[in-house]
Amino acid sequence: MARSPAGVFLLLALSVVVAAGCGEGGAEEGAQLNVYVSAPLSGAEAEAGRKICDEARQEARRTGEPGGFELRVLCLDAAGRRGRWTLAQVGANARRATEDSTAVAYLAEPERAARQQSLPIVEAAGIAELGDLSGKEAVAKVAAVIEESDSNDPRQAVFDAVEG
């Protein structure tokens, strides 16, 4: 029996969803977990953005391996061509974090309006968004949750702790 291309696509998509649902989620001990930081790293606000990133990286090094996981900080530039954050760049940064299966948290831009742009994107992917915190405070909070959690799913543990 012949199948339409749409029917074949639907069957393939369904099999991917079913396969993804099999097994347990989570991460193995020793795995790398990523904390994304979105801040202006160029233009007029670059100094403040770099400070947030530097603090986050220093805190990740200081915490060692919380819960047996390696914590890595990835900084994304939220500034557009004019050197200030833009909604388009903020959205792109949030989407980039959602494409990373090792992402456990997203430290949002210092500006409230920018955070409102990224929040629904990262929340929909089950990634906690931290705002109004320094880089040091955000990474310390993520590390503490991971260290104290008995879950093998650090992303979910951080999301529950931050969003709950």
How many domains does the chain fold into?
1
pLDDT value of position 136: 97
pLDDT value of position 28: 74
- Amino acid in the structure at residue 18: V
Residue 67 is assigned to a structural domain of this protein: yes
Residue 7 is assigned to a structural domain of this protein: no
CA torsion, points 81, 86, 91, 92, in degrees to nearest 10?
Answer: 10
Backbone angles phi, psi at 32, to 5 degrees: -85, 135
Between CA 19 and CA 141 the distance in angstroms is 33
Residue 69 is assigned to a structural domain of this protein: yes
78: CATH: 3.40.50.2300
Between CA 49 and CA 7 the distance in angstroms is 48
- Rounded to the nearest 5 degrees, what angle is found at the Cα of 85, between the Cα atoms of 80 and 91? 85
3-class SS letters over 141-156? HHHHHHHHCCCCCHHH
Residue 35 is assigned to a structural domain of this protein: yes
Token couple for 66: 């919380």
Domain that holds residue 44: 28-163
Neighbours of 83 (CB within 10 A): 13
- Amino acid in the structure at residue 115: R
Residuewise pLDDT in 10s, the chain (164 residues): 454 544 434 333 333 333 333 334 566 777 899 999 999 999 988 999 999 999 999 999 999 999 999 999 999 999 988 888 899 999 999 999 999 999 999 999 888 888 999 999 999 999 999 988 999 999 999 999 999 998 889 999 999 999 87
Residue 59 is assigned to a structural domain of this protein: yes
- Pick left, alpha or beta for residue 83 (phi over 0 → left; psi -120 to 50 → alpha; otherwise beta): left
Residue 85 is assigned to a structural domain of this protein: yes
Sheet holding 32-39, edge to edge: 70-77, 32-39, 103-107, 128-130
β-partners of residue 44 are none
Token couple for 94: 């949030």
Residue 94 is assigned to a structural domain of this protein: yes
Token couple for 45: 């606000």
Residue 12 is assigned to a structural domain of this protein: no
pLDDT value of position 25: 55
